[in-house]
């Protein structure tokens, strides 16, 4: 039974290749991967001669009508003693070929051999473009990561910030262990060892998927043991009251920019994540109401968050307003008022800080605040809400919009507590003019 376009469209791949015939030796072979390839069987010289087999290309790149025309041209050549396969292979036309047959062969080469080569090359280029790390990574992200990952934005940031700029243009099959190490080493040089480990883990999952899709046979990220990048560890550092004081004194006595000093202090007081502060815009702040409304798109859980500002925090933001030089950003970049400071700017100044405090990272400010507030007896729900953590279960449903007054009172207590730790036993350190609580002689 002859093929039709409807039947061709509906052919499904099986575990093994199989063929569906048309007429005159033309058939289509359906491959396990889904490709449908036009092929033709014919004999040069009629019955009794050796059978040859030739391929045209894929359906639907070549339509049913084109395949039938190609079949007829092949059989016309074979009936005159010329092998279409030999012409496709590039063999010369025999010198004793009759002029009319030679002209037929030359037309076949122009119409089919060159056209097939051009289409094959275009398909190869298209396939290469689809198999770059950048193209394949976004395919993986859309098909696998987003539905399955509880926080796909973290994966997206890893791809956009560190993976695609480094190896996005490479073929997925050409990525080496050296490429992966170059990425993780670059991240570690920023002082972000745990982010380097997280990036390696994302790449490990990406290449596992690439192997499953038969795009490569090797997982270069899996070849690097996690322990050679960073020690996976939970964040368990909470600064003691004495360490809080020593750290803040070191910050204000250092040579870092004034805005950076205020930023680190605000991270302690406001209990927000670093990016939530460094990417803040003035439109989010209402200093008269002492409130900071962070939009959902900038929050880890994609939900808006309201921060009640202590008197000290309001005074700091008032000073930062003058330092911002009219920028829409609270912390504009040194090079341009139209951009916020670099993502790793605060990490850099902390690493350079000469402070007699055990190893810690900026994220530990949040744990420090949580630890001391719990020890002071504040309600856990208030603390979790201030940290923008979601309370699970029925309590989370009923308490979602509550505790505004309690959190304001709690954060003012916390700011006063931090204030009291800045004293060093010999009087207060002068740390700035932004609030009366900080103005005193050393």
All structural domains of the chain, each given as residue ranges with its CATH number in brackets, are 5-125 (3.30.160.390), 133-228 (1.10.150.130), 241-438 (1.10.443.10)
The DSSP bridge pattern shows strands 26-30 and 36-43 to be antiparallel
What is the pTM for the complete model shown?
A: 0.48
How far apart (Å, rounded) are the C-alpha atoms in residues 215 and 207? 9
Q: What is the token pair recorded at 341?
A: 């400071």
How far apart (Å, rounded) are the C-alpha atoms in residues 352 and 372? 27
Cβ count near 327 (within 10 Å) = 18
CA angle 368, 373, 374 (to 5 degrees): 100
How far apart (Å, rounded) are the C-alpha atoms in residues 34 and 195? 39
Full pLDDT tens readout for the chain, 442 residues: 789 999 999 999 999 999 999 999 999 999 998 889 999 999 987 776 788 999 888 898 889 999 999 999 999 888 888 899 988 888 888 878 888 888 888 888 888 877 777 776 766 666 666 789 998 999 898 887 544 444 456 788 889 989 999 999 999 999 999 999 999 999 888 777 878 888 998 999 999 999 998 889 999 999 998 888 876 454 456 888 888 988 898 899 888 999 999 999 999 999 999 989 999 999 999 999 999 999 988 888 778 889 999 999 999 999 999 999 999 999 999 888 999 998 888 988 888 777 666 566 787 888 899 889 988 888 888 888 888 876 554 444 444 445 788 899 999 999 999 998 886 544 454 465 554 434 432 2
Q: Which residues are registered as beta bridge partners of 210? A: none
Query: What's the order of all strands across the beta sheet hosting 51-59?
Result: 18-21, 26-30, 36-43, 51-59
Q: Are 306 and 290 in contact (CB under 8 A)?
A: no
How far apart (Å, rounded) are the C-alpha atoms in residues 279 and 343? 9
């Amino acid at each position: 039974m002859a093929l039709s376009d409807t039947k061709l469209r509906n052919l499904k791949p099986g575990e093994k290749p199989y063929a569906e015939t048309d007429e005159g030796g033309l058939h289509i072979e359906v491959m396990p991967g889904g490709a449908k390839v036009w092929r033709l069987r014919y004999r040069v010289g009629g019955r009794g001669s050796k059978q040859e087999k030739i391929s045209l290309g894929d359906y639907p790149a070549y339509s049913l009508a084109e395949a039938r025309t190609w079949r007829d041209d092949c059989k016309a050549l074979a009936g005159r003693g010329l092998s279409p396969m030999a012409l496709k292979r590039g063999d010369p036309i025999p010198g004793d070929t009759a002029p009319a047959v030679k002209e037929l062969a030359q037309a076949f080469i122009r119409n089919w051999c060159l056209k097939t080569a051009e289409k094959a090359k275009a398909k190869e280029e298209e396939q290469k473009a689809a198999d770059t790390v950048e193209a394949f990574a976004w395919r993986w992200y859309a098909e696998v990561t987003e539905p399955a990952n509880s926080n796909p934005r973290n994966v997206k940031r890893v791809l956009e910030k560190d993976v695609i700029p480094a190896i996005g243009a490479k073929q997925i099959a050409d990525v080496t262990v050296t490429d992966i190490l170059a990425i993780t080493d670059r991240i570690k040089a920023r002082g972000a060892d745990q982010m380097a480990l997280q990036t390696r883990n994302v790449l490990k999952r990406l290449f596992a998927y690439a192997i499953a899709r038969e795009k490569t046979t090797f997982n270069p990220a899996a070849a690097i043991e996690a322990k050679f990048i960073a020690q996976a560890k939970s964040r368990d550092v909470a600064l003691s009251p004495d360490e809080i004081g020593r750290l803040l004194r070191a910050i204000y006595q250092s040579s870092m920019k004034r805005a950076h000093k205020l930023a680190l202090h605000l991270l302690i007081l406001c209990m927000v994540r670093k990016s939530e502060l460094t990417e803040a815009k003035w439109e989010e702040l209402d200093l008269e109401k002492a409130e900071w409304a962070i939009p959902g798109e900038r929050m880890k859980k994609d939900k808006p968050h309201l921060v009640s500002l202590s008197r000290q925090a309001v005074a700091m933001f008032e000073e930062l307003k003058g330092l911002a030089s009219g920028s829409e950003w609270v912390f504009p970049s040194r090079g341009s008022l139209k951009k916020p400071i670099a993502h790793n700017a605060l990490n850099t100044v902390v690493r350079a800080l000469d402070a007699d405090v055990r190893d810690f990272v900026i994220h530990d400010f949040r744990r420090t605040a949580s630890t001391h507030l719990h020890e002071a007896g504040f309600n856990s729900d208030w603390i979790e809400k201030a940290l923008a953590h979601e309370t699970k279960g029925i309590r989370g449903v009923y308490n979602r919009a509550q505790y505004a007054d309690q959190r304001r009172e709690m954060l003012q207590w916390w700011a006063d507590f931090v204030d009291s730790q800045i004293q060093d036993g010999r009087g207060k350190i002068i740390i700035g003019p932004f609030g009366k609580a900080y103005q005193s002689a050393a």
